[in-house]
């Protein structure tokens, strides 16, 4: 799960990580009072979950409160990579002497939490990792023992040089790590981590991603969820226990299991078709899930056909068949369906469907070729 910068800054403040004052506004006129309070010279920043907002024109300087209103008016309502800007923050424009980068990630390979730190802040860190990987210092942390303070200071000394700055960075990294572990993050990033007046290091941006699996442990984080991260169909699907991702094709897919669902989309593409969605009905055998899946898929006006591909394990083919029959009785399925059923209780499932006049395939390639040819 992702959160907005302003939410990340609030979280940083709770953990004692230095951030600047901010005002979150949704109406451009409100920028005036906020900018006046902050001394007039401010930055207006779009709040979107996608990256690259700076390049898209979503971050602007304003020298006066009036200019702040104008810039806020420009940015609010902008479309940044398909995301509508509904909020901006107003924050003081600091005089920046130097920009660093500090980030923590969960590294799948080493099974460690890795601190990344560099003097080259303010740039896209993914790009720097490709062009100048040696400029990013990496410091692995074992979750069982936590941060080795002496080793951390040694790493930070290389980057921050002055004792005063090293001490501030050490304090920030420690608090960032506490946030990471306590709230089950997958990524915490300050870019830029900036040196401003009076030799003070502050977080001028905040990027925090959370482990979806751990949201059940953190009601406060779960409450920060933003509707714009997922489409309405994705949210609805989730409420029925379905895993759904919108795509831009015209063949609706209903599959059990994430790997098979991905492979099914791939094979559709291989035969020249285009999948409209990824949909995993999950492991359980509830006929209602099939009904809801069909309902959600049919909301998409582009849908021309539906492919149902089930390999029964825990999922029982007869339950899926019941779900399909229920759906045909309760909703108008305006497009043709190709059904492939194999595995647990396949004969019962096919029997039920064939009674109602459905043809059922047993070979996946056949089924895909049929649906693409429709």
Partner 1 sequence: MSILINEKTNVLVQGITGRDGAFHARQMVADGTRVVAGVTPGKGGQKLDAVPVYNSVREAKGDHRIDATVIFVPARFAGAAVMEAAEAEIPLIITITEGVPVLEMLEAYHVIREKGLRMIGPNCPGLISPGKSKIGIMPAHIHLPGNIGVISRSGTLTYEVVYNLTRSNMGQSTCVGIGGDPVIGTNFIDALQLFEDDPETAGVVVIGEIGGEDEERTAEFISRSVTKPVVGFISGRTAPPGKRMGHAGAIISGGKGTPEAKVKAFEAAGVPVADKPDQIPALLKERL
Q: 43 or 254, CB closer to partner 1?
A: 254
CB of 311 to partner 1, least distance (A): 5
**309: enclosing H helix or E strand:** strand 305-312
Q: 164 or 313, CB closer to partner 1?
A: 313
For residue 121, CA distances in Å to 14, 125, 137, 188, 225 come to: 24, 8, 12, 15, 28
CB of 174 to partner 1, least distance (A): 17
Positions that interact with partner 1 (CB under 8 A): 106, 108-109, 111-113, 126, 142-144, 181, 184, 186, 211-214, 216-217, 243, 245, 247, 255-263, 265-270, 275, 278, 280, 283, 311-314, 342-344, 363-365
**Active-site residue, 15 included:** no
CB of 161 to partner 1, least distance (A): 29
What 8-state DSSP symbol labels residue 334? -
CB of 365 to partner 1, least distance (A): 6
* Residue 183 contacts residue 211 (beta carbons within 8 Å): no
Q: 99 or 184, CB closer to partner 1?
A: 184
CA distance 114 to 121: 17
Q: Which of 6, 101, 177, 193 is catalytic?
A: 101
Q: Residue 107's closest CA among 186, 167, 181, 213?
A: 186
What is the SS3 assignment for 86? coil
Query: Which residues have CB under 8 Å from 127's CB, separation 6+?
Result: none
Q: 37 or 112, CB closer to partner 1?
A: 112
Q: 108 or 334, CB closer to partner 1?
A: 108
CB of 312 to partner 1, least distance (A): 7
For residue 102, CA distances in Å to 133, 251, 307, 338 come to: 15, 44, 46, 51
Q: 139 or 160, CB closer to partner 1?
A: 139
**Active-site residue, 189 included:** yes
CB of 197 to partner 1, least distance (A): 33
Residue 346 sits at φ, ψ, to 5 deg, of: -65, -35
Handedness of CA 168, 169, 172, 175 (dihedral sign): negative
What 8-state DSSP symbol labels residue 149? H
**Helix, strand, coil content of the chain in percent (nearest 5):** 40, 25, 35
Q: Which of 189, 197, 230, 250 is catalytic?
A: 189
The residues annotated as belonging to the active site are 101, 189
């Amino acid at each position: 799960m992702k959160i907005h910068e302003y939410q990340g800054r609030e979280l940083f403040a709770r953990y004692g990580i230095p951030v600047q004052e901010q005002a979150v506004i949704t109406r451009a006129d409100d920028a005036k009072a906020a900018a006046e309070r902050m001394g007039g010279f401010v930055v207006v920043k779009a709040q979107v979950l996608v990256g690259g907002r700076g390049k898209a024109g979503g971050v602007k300087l304003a020298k006066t409160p009036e200019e702040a209103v104008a810039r806020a008016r420009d940015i609010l309502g902008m479309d940044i990579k398909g995301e509508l800007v509904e909020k901006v923050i107003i924050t003081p424009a600091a005089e920046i002497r130097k920009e660093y980068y500090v980030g923590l990630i969960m590294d799948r390979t080493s099974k460690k939490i890795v601190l990344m730190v560099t003097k080259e802040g303010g740039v896209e860190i993914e790009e720097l990792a490709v062009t100048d990987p040696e400029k990013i210092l990496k410091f692995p942390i074992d979750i069982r023992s936590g941060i080795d303070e002496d080793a951390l200071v040694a790493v930070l000394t290389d980057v921050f040089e002055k004792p005063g700055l090293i001490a501030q960075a050490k304090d920030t990294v420690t608090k960032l790590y506490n946030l990471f572990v306590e709230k089950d993050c997958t990524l915490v990033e300050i870019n830029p981590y900036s040196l401003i007046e009076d030799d003070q290091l502050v977080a001028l941006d905040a990027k925090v991603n959370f482990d979806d699996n751990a949201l059940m442990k953190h009601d406060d984080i779960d409450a920060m969820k933003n509707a714009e991260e997922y489409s309405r169909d994705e949210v609805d699907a989730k409420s029925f226990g379905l895993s759904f991702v919108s795509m831009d094709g015209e063949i609706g897919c209903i599959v059990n299991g994430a790997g098979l669902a991905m492979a099914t989309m791939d094979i559709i593409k291989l035969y020249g078709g285009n999948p409209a969605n990824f949909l995993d009905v999950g492991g359980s055998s509830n006929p209602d899930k099939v009904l809801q899946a069909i309902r959600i898929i049919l909301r998409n006006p582009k849908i021309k056909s539906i492919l149902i591909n089930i390999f029964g394990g825990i999922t029982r083919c007869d339950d899926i068949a019941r779900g399909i029959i229920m759906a045909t009785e309760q909703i108008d399925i305006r497009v043709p369906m190709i059904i492939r059923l194999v595995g647990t209780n396949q004969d019962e499932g096919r029997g039920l469907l064939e009674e109602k006049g459905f043809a059922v395939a047993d070979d996946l390639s056949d089924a895909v070729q049929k649906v693409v040819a429709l």
